[in-house]
C-alpha cells in the first residue's frame, strides 16, 4: 500500500537515508527499529512529505507522492503522529481533535465528524472525559492519545506513529499500545517507529531494522524476535 523504494534523503548536504526500501501492506502493522540516529524519524518525515525525497520513489497504492508537500500527502491519506506529540496546548481536547477534520468541516460534513469523534473516544475514553480541558494541561500519555486521535480524525489510509511511548510511564505505554492493537484489529494500516523493540515486535506483522540510514534486516516480527542478533542488540529495551 505505502511503499518507499530506494529512498535517499537528508538535511542540506548531510545524507541520512541511503537507499532504503520499505513496504507497508494494506491492513498490516509494520515496525521500524534501530538505534538512536539510525534514520527512523527521518524515514517517517519522508513518508509524510515533511522532508523531500532526494531520489527514489514514495507511493501510496502505486500513486507517486514524492515531490508533494506534506499537506498534499495528508490529503492522499497518510497521517503522521510525530515524535513529541505536538498538540495545540492552548486549544481544548475537542478543538484539537476537530483540527484533524478541518478539511471535511469546510464542506459542512458535521455528522461524519461527530461519528469520527465517537470512534476516537471509543479508542481513548480518557479524551472524552477531558474533552473541554486545555491540551497543554494533559499528562504526557493523554497528549499522546490526543495526537493519535487527531490523526485518526482525518480518516487516514495509513497512520505513521513515531515513538508513541516516548516519555511515558509503563502503564501509559500499555494503554497506548492497547489502542494500537485495537486499530490493528480494525484493519488500520500503520508504520510504527518505537524505542521499545520487544513491544513493537510483539504487536507488528512485519519489521525492518535500520542502521546508519540503511535497512540491514527485515522479516516477519516473529522471525526477528527469534533472531539472536536482534535479541542481543535490541530486545533488552522492552519496558
- 108 has pLDDT over 70: no
Model pLDDT, residue 26: 96
The model's pLDDT over 115-163, given as tens digits with 9 standing for 90+, comes to 899 999 999 999 999 999 999 999 888 999 999 999 999 999 999 999 9
**Which strands make up the sheet holding 63-64, listed edge to edge?**
14-24, 2-11, 55-60, 63-64
Residue 227 located in a structural domain: yes
Rounded to two decimals, the pTM is: 0.90
Q: Are 42 and 9 in contact (CB under 8 A)?
A: yes
How many structural domains comprise the chain? Answer: 1
Residue 182 located in a structural domain: yes
Residue 103 located in a structural domain: no
Model pLDDT, residue 150: 95
**Considering the chain, what percentage of its residues have pLDDT values greater than 90?**
71
Identify which of 29, 65, 69 has the alpha carbon closest to the alpha carbon of residue 194.
29
d(CA 9, CA 130): 40
DSSP run (H or E) holding 121: helix 110-123
Partnered with residue 209 across adjacent β-strands are 33, 217
The mean pLDDT of the chain is 90
Residue 143 located in a structural domain: no
Lowest mean pLDDT among 17-31, 160-174, 222-236: 222-236
Residue 118 located in a structural domain: no
Coil, strand or helix: which one is 207? strand
Residue 170 located in a structural domain: yes
Residue 114 located in a structural domain: no
The model's pLDDT over 18-46, given as tens digits with 9 standing for 90+, comes to 999 999 999 999 999 998 889 999 999 99
Q: Assign residue 139 a region: left if phi > 0, alpha if psi is -120 to 50, beta otherwise?
A: beta
Amino acid at each position: 500500500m505505502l511503499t518507499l523504494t530506494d529512498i535517499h534523503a537528508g538535511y542540506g548536504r548531510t545524507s541520512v537515508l541511503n537507499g532504503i526500501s520499505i513496504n507497508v501492506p494494506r491492513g498490516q502493522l509494520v515496525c521500524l527499529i534501530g538505534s538512536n540516529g539510525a534514520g527512523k524519524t527521518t524515514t517517517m518525515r519522508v513518508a509524510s512529505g515533511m522532508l523531500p525525497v532526494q531520489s527514489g520513489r514514495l507511493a501510496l497504492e502505486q500513486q507517486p507522492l514524492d515531490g508533494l508537500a506534506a499537506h498534499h500527502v495528508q490529503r492522499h491519506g497518510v497521517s503522521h503522529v510525530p515524535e513529541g506529540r505536538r498538540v495545540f496546548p492552548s486549544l481544548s481536547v475537542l478543538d484539537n481533535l476537530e483540527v484533524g477534520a478541518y478539511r471535511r468541516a469546510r464542506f459542512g460534513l458535521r455528522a461524519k465528524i461527530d461519528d469520527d469523534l465517537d470512534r476516537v473516544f471509543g479508542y481513548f475514553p480518557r479524551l472524552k472525559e477531558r474533552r473541554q480541558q486545555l491540551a497543554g494541561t494533559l499528562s504526557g500519555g493523554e497528549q499522546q492519545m490526543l495526537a493519535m486521535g487527531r490523526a485518526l480524525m482525518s480518516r487516514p489510509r495509513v497512520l505513521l506513529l513515531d515513538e508513541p511511548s516516548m516519555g511515558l510511564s509503563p502503564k501509559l505505554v500499555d494503554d497506548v499500545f492497547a489502542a494500537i492493537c485495537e486499530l490493528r484489529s480494525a484493519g488500520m494500516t500503520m508504520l510504527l517507529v518505537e524505542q521499545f523493540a520487544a513491544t513493537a515486535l510483539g504487536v507488528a506483522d512485519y519489521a525492518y531494522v535500520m542502521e546508519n540510514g540503511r535497512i540491514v534486516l527485515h522479516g516477519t516480527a516473529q522471525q526477528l524476535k527469534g533472531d539472536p542478533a536482534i535479541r542481543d542488540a535490541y530486545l533488552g529495551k522492552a519496558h
